[in-house]
Amino acid sequence: MLSEGNLSQQQNEANSQSQATGKSSDTGFCPITSWDDLDDEHSQSLSSSVEDQEEVKCHHLFADQVCKDKGLPEGSLAMFSELEDPKLMMISLMGTLIASSEAQQQAKVHEYIGSQDYESVMKDHLQICLTAPNLTAYVSGLADQACAKHHPSIFNLPSSAFQNAELSNKIGVFIKENLTMQWSIMKQKISNSITNKANISVLARLLMGPGPEITKAHWVRFTFLHSCFINFQMVIEESKAVREAVGDEGTNDEEQLDTEHTWNMTNFWKYVDCLMQEIIKEAHNEGTPAECQRFINMFAPFSPQSCHLQLKCPNRCYHNALKSDLLQFPAEDDILAPPFEHVMIEWHKVLQGTMACA
């Protein structure tokens, strides 16, 4: 066993040899760091820690001062002031800028939705949807079809508006309420035109207003509505007669008072939708494309732009219906022609192109 003195002597010899050769000793002993060196390292570490703390404190104070100068809540910049990596600071800063921009955009949308301009634009655009010649349903799903989220730019809305639940719900409520109002107005105008024996040209302009382009496809669709309204009045009379007959018999059998016997004028658009869906269903069940086309031609004047059924053959049945309407409600000068052959306004074509859903 080596004594403490021998161990110290062996270490000194190893150190001497290491200094002479410039290499570390092979004995496995490492040079001993002096206590002064350890004290210096410890002092430097403490000094660095103090400097870091002072720097963090300085950053906090500066951040607090910026908050005061900019009118920000106290402590708003505390976390940002503690970031040391410049890249992290840039990412945080960019995120803040984007969030601020989004908030400003949402505020503008909120303001716009409450304005008269918004109501005017939405009413005009929904009217184009409701008078589209290729519309396959007036009630069922129309609010979803006409929803501005499909073409937000046409409705002067940013797409981000529909990422906000509150804004999206507000827009949806307005669309449903406005469609309900326009259904009532359209029905009243159709009724008045029949009472006043107005021709299809007058009715079309009443329904669409002075701005939109009116084509033969619009005339044919409004002829269909004309016919539906006249027939529906007879359905109501029959329904009334059935109810009176059942009442005279003194029975309360609900099976005799099913829905087909209880039509009233508030159900007009539902009645129109029922007719449309029945004929479309019959057309699709007919089997051959030719027969399907024949039934559809008897039913609805789809525009050539419609991506739904892409009608190309002549619509003889509806041409005859249009002629019948012109005979029943003639023009004073006996000369009637649609003002336009095709819809040219781009946003009108886009909206009408989304209306076919069957």
Q: How far apart are the first and last CA of the chain?
A: 101
Average pLDDT on 123-135 reads 86
Whether residue 275 contacts residue 239, with contact meaning beta carbons closer than 8 Å, is answered with no
Residue 31 is given by DSSP the state: P
- Rounded to the nearest integer, the mean pLDDT of the chain is 73
CB atoms within 10 A of CB 275: 16
Which are the contacts of 164, defined by CB distance < 8 A and separation ≥ 6?
106, 109
Query: Residue 187 pLDDT > 90, yes or no?
Result: yes
Q: Where are the alpha helices (DSSP H) in 114-256?
A: 116-130, 142-145, 165-195, 200-208, 216-248
**% the chain with pLDDT above 70:** 64
Q: Does position 95 have pLDDT exceeding 80, yes or no?
A: yes
**189 neighbors 203 (Cβ within 8 angstroms):** yes
Burial (CB count within 10 angstroms: exposed 0-12, middle 13-18, buried 19+), residue 182: middle
Write down the pLDDT at residue 293.
57
Q: Would you say residue 203 has pLDDT above 70?
A: yes
pLDDT band for position 320 (cuts 50, 70, 90): low
Size of the chain, expressed as the number of residues it contains:
358
b/e 51-88 (16+ beta carbons within 10 angstroms → b): eeeeeeeebeeebbeebeeeeeeeeebeeebeeeeeee
In this structure, the number of other CB atoms found within 10 A of the CB of residue 198 comes to 19
Q: Which residue has the higher pLDDT, 348 or 258?
A: 348
Consecutive H or E run containing 198: none
> What torsion do the CA atoms of 80, 82, 87, 89 make, to the nearest 10 degrees?
10
Residue 57: per-residue pLDDT:
80
Range in 84-88, 191-195, 208-212, 224-228 with the lowest mean pLDDT: 84-88
Q: Is the pLDDT of residue 316 over 60?
A: no
Measured CA to CA, the distance from residue 203 to residue 219 in angstroms comes to 9
Residue 102 CB burial class (10 angstroms; 0-12, 13-18, ≥19): middle
28 exposure class (CB count in 10 Å sphere: 0-12, 13-18, 19+): exposed
CA gap 295, 313 in Å, rounded? 12
The pLDDT of residue 224 is 86
Give the span between the Cα atoms of 226 and 193, in whole angstroms: 9
Q: Which ranges of 71-145 does DSSP label H, i.e. alpha helix?
A: 78-81, 86-113, 116-130, 142-145
Question: Nearest CA to 342 among 296, 300, 306?
Answer: 306
Contact 179, 146 (CB under 8 A): yes
Rg (CA), the chain: 41
286: DSSP letter = S
Confidence of residue 311 (pLDDT cuts 50, 70, 90): very low
Q: Which tokens go with 64?
A: 């607090």
CA distance 341 to 216: 7
Render pLDDT for 42-76 as a digit per residue (tens, 0 to 9). 555 555 566 667 777 887 888 888 888 878 788 88
Number of helical H runs and strand E runs in the chain: 13, 0
Question: Do residues 127 and 182 make contact, with C-beta atoms less than 8 angstroms apart?
Answer: yes
Interval 229-243: pLDDT, tens: 988 998 888 878 777
